[in-house]
Structure 1
Amino acid sequence: MAGPSALFEPTRIGSLTLPNRVVMAPMTRSFCGSGGVPSPEVVRYYAARAAAGTGLIFTEATVVDMGPARGYLGVPGLCDDAQEAAWKMVVEAVHAVGGRIMVQLWHCGRLSHPRATAGAQPVAPSAVAASGPYLDVADPSTFDGHLSYVEPKAMTQADIDAVVGAFAAAAGRARRIGFDGVLFHGASGYLIQQFFNADSNRRDDAYNGDTAARARFACEIVSAARAGTGADYPLLMGLSQFSVSDYGWVTWSAPADLAVTVNCLKAAGVDGFHVAAHRINNPGFAAEADPAGHGLAWHVRQASGLPVSAAGGVTYSATIGESLMGADCHIADPAEAAQMLANGDADLIAVGRAMLANPDWTTKVRTGRWNELLPFRRETLATLV
């Protein structure tokens, strides 16, 4: 097995040079109040991970409007001047300690809920409610599963155009305040992925019909953002098979279908991808579709030829779902993550829960002290350590 040194080799995403291959995964924290404005505590939270030498930080998911896009209470936005000014403080603090940071832009679509949208009905490609209970990780009162998703409004062309414009406007704000790039949240069952998936996208227009048509909405977002930010600004797309409302949800049935989506996005202007799975090296497809059992990140990397950041339980013994239900998470040897880089499973490794519990994760791993890392406990979510 390779040693952890592979994690600390430099790399590039588009025009951005990274000092190492350790990424802070995007994780919803919900400490931004009703106005979606990051507080000074949020500034310190991100700066601490950057100061430890983390190669790239992805922010928590950040909504592009404070209405239907907003799925949970307390999440941040990047759609008004107060939010922009607060995020500028985060960016400046991260840069002051030598870090690099990209904002993850988000629209929840049908995974929103009227409790978080001031009563507004969620929107989606089609009027098809999500399965499973609505859970807000920042609100334990929802953990008993008593809330259900509501039927969303099927988006009109005007709705689609408005959301594309909101993503592009937020990307423009991101560049203006100095973010090192943008990650569009096309994973976990949220709005962009709802267009990718034939189960949630049952439209009878140009946004459905085949895999390329279902990628059209995401490509319009990328193209609009690219037009506003310029050719040299890194834009990434997040992908996953599953939804947070249904971990058995499958978006692409075969590698060839995934390749269509990936290459449509590449043609639209993305510079790379961030891929989430339960575990990075779990098979991305059923055995009959991929007998070799490669992970989804591997397939995205092969199809695109672009850099891929991969997230999925690589640093803990329990999956995110298991840990949120209270399971103990024991630290795993980071050499396993480094081996995935050596195997070509990904170009960067995204660390999530372990970096919540350990702001200095990168320092301790780089200096060979990973055995000193603390386990993650669900209670950690209630704090900004």
Structure 2
Amino acid sequence: MAEPVAMPVPEALFASLRVGGVELPNRIAMAPMTRSFCGPQGVPDAAVARYYAARAATGTGLLFTEGTVVDMASARGYRGVPGLCDDAQEAAWRAVVDAVHAAGGRIMVQLWHCGRLAHPRATGDAQPLAPSALTASGPYIDAADPGTFDGHLAYVEPRAMTQTDIDAVVASFAQAAARARRAGFDGVLLHGASGYLIHQFFNPDSNRRQDDYNGDAAARARFACEVVAAVRGELGGEVPLLMGLSQFAVNDFAAKTWHTPVELAATVQCLKAAGVDGFHVAAHRIDTPAFAVDADPQQRSLAWHVRQLSGLPVSAAGGVTYSTSIGESLMGADSQVTDPAEAVAALQAQAVDLIAVGRAMLANPDWTAKVRAGRWRELTPFRREMLASLV
């Protein structure tokens, strides 16, 4: 059999980048992906540490952790996901961070509250919390549990958050951020995407409140900005703080949160003023247009708009080196390997600063090394069954 031919290395991927107080050696990130291997107590073990360290060891510039909940009751949407809200979890994450640092990597924790996308099977029967008492549409699917793939489970009605609830959740994010700093994480990513709690406040379809947390896009960003300010207070000025954004939700991949660049600008400017150092933007594909043609005739991506509006570094995820979107993959569609040059074009066009690789890095711990060597054609396609193991 003929030896595979090495392809030209996309040099733009391997330029350094500074985010907040952290210098990254290249523009490749491991996207945050729910893995659910942390048991009922939400404590990552040695296998989790090996999983992250393996990606760091092959040269990946930055790792984002899986979603890590800020409390073990209403915040938890899926069984087996980790937390960062008690001493055992903090100590376990310290071991993960140490393993990544020993492998030469940098790692940021993604802090998470599922809001109305939580489910009693994971919350210990606690009722989910949400901006408004509106049940999420669609079936409840746990990507780590094939028993849910047939869609027989439904979301449950959440309880509309009181001001006391809001204050408590803001405090839980801040407390988790303090633990992240003590555990040695290189930064914090707040999960404001995919239809989870912060995103639910952003979106007028899930936020029907009659108070200061709703109204225009700036008002709907108030909760997120309170979280940012509280977390920034715990992290200090040097530890990078990012906010995750997306148009879609995991229960509705066709959802739109912002319908015009003006609406998005109100959200982004509020978050910047509150203290974020950058953003992580998820889309179906990295170049998926953010808005309808009448709102943006040039059909530019959500990441492009966020970068232009904020002037801050932006990490972008969406179908990197794969032919299918995450939604299609979770429905069982096969992915074909594609040229990373398609994603690198976004770097070259200054639409993004970091390329976040998700499913492809789950299937290929050595994604960065293979791409750097020009051997991307050797990458393994992602299959849904891979979610059942931690390799």
> Would the aligned equivalents of 2:364 and 2:379 in 1 still touch at CA under 8 Å?
yes
Structure 1 position 101 matched with structure 2 position 107? yes
Give the match for residue 349 of structure 2. 343
Give the match for residue 79 of structure 1. 85
Q: Give the CA deviation at 1:335.
A: 1.4
**Alignment partner of 1:153 out of 150, 154, 159:** 159
> Would the aligned equivalents of 1:4 and 1:338 in 2 still touch at CA under 8 Å?
yes
Give the counterpart letter for 2:225 in structure 1. C
Q: Give the CA deviation at 1:280.
A: 1.0
Q: Distance in 2 between matches of 1:327 and 1:143?
A: 13
- Deviation track 1:18-52 (CA, whole Å, cap 9, x = no partner) reads 00000000000000000000011000000000000
Q: Give the CA deviation at 1:334.
A: 1.1
Q: Could you list the runs of 5+ residues in structure 2 that have no partner in the other structure?
A: 1-7
Structure 1 position 240 matched with structure 2 position 246? yes
Q: Could you list the runs of 5+ residues in structure 1 that have no partner in the other structure?
A: none
Give the match for residue 168 of structure 2. 162
Q: Give the CA deviation at 1:123.
A: 0.4
Q: What are the equivalent positions in structure 2 for 1:17-28 lying under 5 Å apart?
A: 17-28=23-34
Q: Classify the secondary structure of the residue corresponding to 2:68.
A: strand
Greater shift, 322-331 or 150-159, is seen at 322-331
> Would the aligned equivalents of 2:128 and 2:157 in 1 still touch at CA under 8 Å?
yes
Q: Distance in 2 between matches of 1:110 and 1:224?
A: 22
* Stretches of 4+ aligned residues off by more than 4 angstroms: none
Q: Distance in 1 between matches of 2:242 and 2:302?
A: 16
Q: Give the CA deviation at 1:3.
A: 5.2
Give the match for residue 202 of structure 1. 208
Give the match for residue 16 of structure 1. 22
Q: Give the CA deviation at 1:79.
A: 0.2
Q: Classify the secondary structure of the residue corresponding to 1:182.
A: strand
Give the match for residue 175 of structure 1. 181
Give the match for residue 279 of structure 1. 285
- Deviation track 1:87-128 (CA, whole Å, cap 9, x = no partner) reads 000000000111000000000000011111111110000001
TM-score (norm 2): 0.97
Q: Distance in 2 between matches of 1:3 and 1:84?
A: 39
> Would the aligned equivalents of 1:126 and 1:201 in 2 still touch at CA under 8 Å?
yes
Q: Classify the secondary structure of the residue corresponding to 1:247.
A: coil
Give the match for residue 126 of structure 2. 120
Q: Give the CA deviation at 1:314.
A: 2.1
Q: Give the CA deviation at 1:343.
A: 1.1
> Would the aligned equivalents of 2:53 and 2:100 in 1 still touch at CA under 8 Å?
yes
Give the match for residue 325 of structure 1. 331
> Would the aligned equivalents of 2:253 and 2:327 in 1 still touch at CA under 8 Å?
no
Give the match for residue 363 of structure 2. 357
Q: Give the CA deviation at 1:252.
A: 0.4
Structure 1 position 310 matched with structure 2 position 319? no
Give the match for residue 213 of structure 1. 219
Structure 1 position 51 matched with structure 2 position 53? no
Q: Distance in 1 between matches of 2:9 and 2:101?
A: 29
Q: Classify the secondary structure of the residue corresponding to 1:115.
A: helix
Q: Distance in 1 between matches of 2:377 and 2:227?
A: 43
Q: Distance in 2 between matches of 1:333 and 1:249?
A: 28
Give the match for residue 263 of structure 1. 269
Q: Distance in 2 between matches of 1:200 and 1:245?
A: 12
Q: Classify the secondary structure of the residue corresponding to 2:120.
A: coil
Give the counterpart letter for 1:342 in structure 2. Q
